[in-house]
Structure 1
Amino acid sequence: MAIPEGFVLPPWYVLALLVLLLAAVVALLWVLEPPVTDETVIAFAPWMMFGSTLHVLYKIDAFPTSIEPLFSAPTVYLTTAIVAGSAWLLGSFLYAAGFQRSIARFVGVSGTAFFTVFAVFTLYHGWMAGTIEPFWPVLSVVITGVVAALAWLGLSLWFTDVAAITGLSGAFVVFSQALDGVTTAVGYDVLGAGEDVPASQFILEAGAALPTYEYVGAGWLFVLVKVVLALVVVGLFADFVREEPRRGRILLGLIAAIGLGPGTHNVLLFVVA
């Protein structure tokens, strides 16, 4: 799994303000208890991708120096959570006032708008720098779709109840983790990208030590481990989602974010850098 390199924290008073803002958002959401369905989990996908885009822009020095610490790791997670949580709150209020037909729809549309604007700016920055290379990143997304579809089909056939209970949230977890695995594998085997996470590095090195390395590289083992673990996690969460659907889907969404965030980060960074 690829994660942002290096931890850069803003001044303590900025960090304290971010923590307080996030605590306030979480507290309000705790009080309001907006519904959490499969649609809600999927609606947050563009927000996860938005956070990754912010960090890519940070890596290519696109932000003014005065605000760039807000988008470093791990501060970018706080920044993104505050904005996304605020969108969830606003959507809840608009829905209660009768101005929106669905909270999830507002969250998804607003997240898509934010992600689109910043992703276009990222691509523009890469275009101006003359570093756009889309082939392998786009191919990795296509491969991810195929791998995730086959994995979910297998789960649906052999463990139909698990697929039925976890629904779109479970499929989202599998796709997200597959994206992280495939993009990391492509980066490692094809683009010469490094890997800083010890566990991920160990798996990649194990793949490189196999006789198959000469023919298919080392990354396939990492993809296999990521997808299998995602399927196992979805299977383990099935009962929890059935008994506690709100909490279960929130946790599945967080697990998906751990894959979709780094995966999107990899795709965009490989395109522009």
Structure 2
Amino acid sequence: MVVPEGFVLPPWYLLVPLLVVLVGIVALLWALGPPVTDRTVLAFAPWMMFGSTLHVLHRIDAYPDNLESLFAAPSVYLVTAVIAGSAWIIGIFLYAGGLQPTIERFVGISGTAFFAVFVMIFLNIGWAVGNFELFWPVISVVIAGAVTAIAWIALSLRYTDVAATTSITGVIVVFGHALDGVSTAIGYDVLGAAEEVPLSRLILEAGESLPTDEYIGAGWVFIVVKVLLAVVILGLFKEYVDERPQQARVVLALIAAVGLGPGVHNVLQFVIT
């Protein structure tokens, strides 16, 4: 199996309009050419987390049957991109009209608002079913933060130029993948969750084959692989960021989303499962 379990495409009458709208948004953003800085990537972090809430609500059957496929993987990424891209365009025009001091301010505030509202909806559902747990979600975030700090300090000491060049964007990339790694490890080793992504499952199974599995579980291998991969990517992107900073940060933001999105998704699932 190549694709993750739960990979569902919506029917053509939903998918085609979604793709058309997304292409239009990308074309308009290309024409507007907004600046992409570390602050831009930071402003989009709440939108990455918002996409996770859309998907985790799908996992608990919160949507009508005729729309639920839009919020399964991979279409939920397209839906999130459409909403976040629309917010970016609105922010650009508000900034141009003097109604906002920066584009990033509107993008960040609107993303945080969307994320907060949908998290509250999710938590209300969890509270209603009477299965509400915050211990492992908090532990996941705390450990991921500690792992990120250690990795970033090590990178800053050994490859100072890479850390300085990638800056806040680099921190978000490392934290996103650290959170994904830590939450996956906790889910697999502690909570008995099954891993749906085939490649991730192979890494976890490799960890199980080690003598350390009996003492500290298999998930630590996945954490190490995720964080090392993030750091290596930053090293490879150093020259790209120097030469084409806007394009490089867009790509790094997507790489961060690939970690932060699933990581937040896992953390949210821990709350009610």
TM bin, normalised by shorter chain, reads over 0.9
2:229 counterpart residue number? 229
Which residues of 2 match residues 117-266 of structure 1 at below 5 A?
117-266=117-266
Contact 1:122 1:272 in 2 (8 A): no
Distance apart, 1:75 and its partner CA: 1.1
Unaligned runs of 5+ in 2: none
The answer to whether residue 37 in structure 2 is matched with residue 27 in structure 1 is no
The answer to whether residue 90 in structure 2 is matched with residue 86 in structure 1 is no
Unaligned runs of 5+ in 1: none
Matched residues, number: 271
Amino acid at match of 2:15: L
Amino acid at match of 1:87: A
Q: Deviations over 1:8-44 (max 9, x none)?
A: 2222011100000000000000000000000000111
Distance 2:105 2:202 in 1: 41
TM-score (norm 2): 0.97
Which residues of 2 match residues 10-89 of structure 1 at below 5 A?
10-89=10-89
Distance 1:128 1:196 in 2: 27
Amino acid at match of 1:172: I
Q: Deviations over 1:160-194 (max 9, x none)?
A: 11011100001110000000000000000001111
User: What SS class does the counterpart of residue 44 from structure 1 fall into?
Assistant: helix
Distance apart, 1:229 and its partner CA: 0.7
Distance 2:82 2:215 in 1: 45
Moved beyond 6 Å, runs of 4+: none
Distance 2:259 2:267 in 1: 12
Distance 1:119 1:198 in 2: 28
1:105 counterpart residue number? 105
Distance 1:253 1:17 in 2: 25
Amino acid at match of 1:7: F
User: What SS class does the counterpart of residue 100 from structure 2 fall into?
Assistant: coil
Distance 1:245 1:74 in 2: 28
Amino acid at match of 1:248: A
Percent identity of paired positions between Structure 1 and Structure 2: 64
Distance 2:168 2:180 in 1: 18
Distance apart, 1:67 and its partner CA: 2.1
Distance 1:222 1:263 in 2: 13
1:115 counterpart residue number? 115
Distance 2:81 2:203 in 1: 30
Distance 1:52 1:186 in 2: 18
Contact 2:189 2:217 in 1 (8 A): yes
Contact 1:5 1:73 in 2 (8 A): no
Distance apart, 1:4 and its partner CA: 6.6
TM-score (norm 1): 0.97
